[in-house]
Amino acid sequence: MINIYRKCEKSIDNIYGIKKIESLDEIDRPFLFCISPKEDDNSTFGIIKEGARACRVRTTDELSGGFKIDEMGALFLGFREENDGVFGDLVKDFLYPLLTRIKDINSIKKNARKMNFFVYCNGINIYKQIERRLYDLLKQDGYLEEQIVEIISQISLVSIAPNSDINNIIAAKVAFKDVCDRDVYDYTSKVAEKRLNRDGRMSTIGGVNNGAIYAYYGTGEHELKSYLKDENMVKSSLCAITSKFLENSIQNETTFELIPISKEFIIPIILKNNGEFEDVGVQLSKLDSTLQYGNVSKYSKEESDRLLDFEKSLKSDIHRL
């Protein structure tokens, strides 16, 4: 059995800003599914918040783009397993029914385009199991190899500090790797480090099958939050691609024909927002000015400050319990 959660605004009635999904009917829009390598509430809830933050939604950590999470045309989801067999349950009972609600190929591709994944470290291996299971179920239902690849290629994946190779993943994907992070140092890190030294650069972007790898010289800190620090050159590219994947999902909701994603969609966004060449704060301001998410309302600085005071009071109340 698994529990699936979504992020929402904190309130007196919901001091953690997390709601449990009780039915598939609640998944009525595109989503960013956030996967932590750990299996506890703090890790699950924490990575959902970081995923929302990467999409420039206002969180307790920063105003970001100021987007109001309860008005977003997308959901920010995560899961926690209760026992073994979680991946079969997660895919067969949750993801696959969402993917194949309507059986024609165009509809399935559009449903795949609603699915965006945001994973950290060993979360990449959880995603690989998910993708393999989706592939097998589609094959069992009689879809051809070419059709299955076309479908799964419209799922997006943002992988931060992956501890295994991403090349064989079908989804449109981007991996962000700090070559100084020895916890996930591998062949890809080694090749990227040699390229950085050869070119005298702080970052390098390499194309892979249906995606890209952004490798850079960082602090070596093996911590998800370090990738979203204001001073980290990777933050602007990471936020840009995650938010643009999600924005594309929302745009697809209002069209009959699929607006696809591919490597050609990904690489220009990464290059344009590379924090090695322009101040990260400037780039994020430019990104925030272009994001629409279907004309979602934004918090002003004053509204956000008032909400932050309210959240601090809730946190204080929690500590007293």
- Phi (first) and psi of residue 229, to 5 degrees: -75, 145
Distance CA(183)–CA(278), nearest Å, equals 29
Judge contact between 73 and 296, C-beta under 8 A.
yes
Q: pLDDT grade, residue 16 (50/70/90)? A: confident
Residue-wise pLDDT for 172-194, tens only, equals 999 999 999 999 999 999 999 99
| Number of domains present in the structure of the chain | 1
Determine which helix (DSSP H) or strand (DSSP E) holds 3, and give its type and residue range.
strand 2-7
Residue 321 lies in a domain: no
Q: What is the Rg, in whole angstroms, of the alpha carbon atoms belonging to the chain?
A: 19
Residues with Cβ within 8 Å of residue 124, at least 6 apart in sequence: 159, 162, 163, 164, 166, 175
Average pLDDT taken over every residue of the chain: 92
How far does CA 265 lie from the centroid of its chain? 16
Residue-wise pLDDT for 19-39, tens only, equals 999 998 999 999 999 999 876
Residue 176 lies in a domain: yes
Q: Does the pTM of the predicted model rise above 0.75?
A: yes
Q: Tokens for 93?
A: 């009972």
Q: Tokens for 214?
A: 């952004």
Residue 58 lies in a domain: yes
Residue 31 lies in a domain: yes
Residue 91 lies in a domain: yes
Residue 283 lies in a domain: yes
Strand order in the sheet with 18-20: 18-20, 2-7, 75-81, 31-35, 115-120, 156-160, 172-178, 211-216, 203-208
The whole domain housing 31 covers: 2-316
Distance CA(199)–CA(45), nearest Å, equals 40
Distance CA(206)–CA(39), nearest Å, equals 32
Judge contact between 46 and 3, C-beta under 8 A.
no
Of 67, 115, 52, 61, nearest in space to 252 by CA: 115
Residues with Cβ within 8 Å of residue 99, at least 6 apart in sequence: 108, 111, 112, 115, 134, 151
Q: pLDDT grade, residue 318 (50/70/90)? A: low
Residue 148 lies in a domain: yes
